[in-house]
């Protein structure tokens, strides 16, 4: 079984079975990263171009490592090195890359819909590594893998996503993915950071964290995306931290096996206290490690590699 689409732009393109396939495949790829020689020939001779028009450490590195561990050739184009700064459109960039016979483009861009647009223009596979406040599907997949490793299932869990839901592509992709796999999602934050109509995605909404905290299995914290906020949407960072920031005292109200997740980059002292970020219950490093495995699985399944390493 493979994936039905040539691209991964949105979680909506995947069925529950396809999500399970990606997670199972990722699980089998994890072991490669633990070897001394972290490389298999699976995607030898394939070319993957990563186009990152927004700053990124972990997502870009993790796509690049995933491609390299599968022996694909990679080229990275960032905003400053691309002809976009010279006025070239996405369509022309797509044609240029396609003319050089690349097999896949991974794109991160500040405009929502940019990945879908690129996918329309290109015959090769396009993977969305975050488009504006729309989606970030591989982040949701690596989060699902992390949750499944902790709880053994994705069904019937209660997940609270806390913070700047309005500007978060991570929240959107996670909501779609978690709902698809049978978990319950509640979004929590100040009213100005919760988009109107979010309940149409089948989530509950709360403007108050403390009453909900004792019921949840997973606390998924988000960064306040100040770079996306044109105006001030809440009184102060300090007030946000006191109402929604997670510290050890607040965690006393939670279930003992609660896990704390964060897509990074974390802002210690704002959404997460420094001592919580370093607690055993915080699985942030596991998320990062799973990012490489999940991206290996996505590249492999979209490019139809042959597993001759077994």
Residues forming contacts to ligand NCD in the complex (CB under 6 A) are 58-59, 130, 136, 139, 169-170, 223, 225, 263-264
136 catalytically annotated? yes
Closest approach, Cβ 101 to ligand NCD, in A, equals: 29
Please state whether the peptide bond connecting residue 265 to the residue before it is cis, i.e. omega within 30 degrees of 0: yes
Closest approach, Cβ 257 to ligand NCD, in A, equals: 25
Active-site annotation holder among 46, 60, 136, 172 = 136
Active-site annotation holder among 42, 47, 50, 59 = 59
Nearer to ligand NCD, 29 or 53 (CB): 53
Nearer to ligand NCD, 40 or 298 (CB): 298
86 catalytically annotated? yes
Active-site annotation holder among 60, 69, 108, 223 = 108
- Closest-approach residue to ligand NCD (CB): 223
Would you give the distance in Å from CA 67 to the centre of its chain?
A: 17
How many angstroms separate the most distant Cα atoms in the chain? 57
108 catalytically annotated? yes
Would you give the distance in Å from CA 108 to the centre of its chain?
A: 11
Closest approach, Cβ 52 to ligand NCD, in A, equals: 10
Nearer to ligand NCD, 130 or 245 (CB): 130
Closest approach, Cβ 232 to ligand NCD, in A, equals: 18
Nearer to ligand NCD, 46 or 223 (CB): 223
Indicate which residues carry an active-site annotation: 58-59, 86, 108, 136
């Amino acid at each position: 079984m493979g994936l039905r689409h040539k691209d991964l732009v949105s979680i909506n393109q995947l069925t529950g079975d396809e999500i399970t396939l990606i997670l199972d495949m990722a699980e089998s790829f994890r072991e490669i990263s633990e070897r001394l020689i972290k490389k298999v020939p699976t995607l030898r001779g394939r070319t993957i171009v990563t186009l990152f028009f927004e700053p990124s450490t972990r997502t870009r590195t993790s796509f690049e490592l995933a491609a390299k561990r599968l022996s694909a050739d990679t080229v990275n184009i960032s905003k400053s090195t691309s002809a976009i700064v010279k006025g070239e459109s996405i369509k022309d960039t797509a044609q240029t890359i396609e003319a050089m016979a690349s097999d896949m483009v991974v794109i991160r861009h500040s405009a929502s819909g940019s990945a879908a647009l690129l996918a329309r223009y290109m015959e090769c596979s396009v993977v969305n590594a975050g488009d504006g406040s729309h989606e970030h599907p591989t982040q949701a997949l690596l989060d699902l893998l992390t949750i499944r490793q902790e709880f053994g299932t994705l069904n019937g869990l209660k997940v609270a996503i806390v913070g700047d839901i309005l500007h978060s592509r991570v929240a959107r992709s996670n909501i779609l993915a978690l709902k698809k796999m049978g978990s319950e999602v509640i979004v929590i934050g100040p009213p100005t950071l919760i988009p109107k109509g979010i309940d149409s995605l089948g989530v509950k909404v709360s403007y108050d964290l403390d009453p909900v905290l004792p019921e949840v299995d997973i606390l998924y914290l988000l960064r306040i995306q100040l770079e996306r906020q044109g105006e001030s949407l809440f009184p102060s960072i300090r007030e946000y931290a006191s109402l929604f920031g997670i510290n050890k005292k607040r965690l006393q109200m939670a279930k003992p096996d609660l896990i704390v997740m964060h897509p990074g980059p974390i802002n210690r002292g704002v959404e997460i206290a420094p001592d919580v970020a370093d607690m055993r219950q915080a699985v942030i490093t596991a998320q990062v490690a799973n990012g490489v495995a999940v991206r290996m699985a996505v590249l492999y399944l979209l490019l139809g590699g042959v597993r001759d390493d077994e």
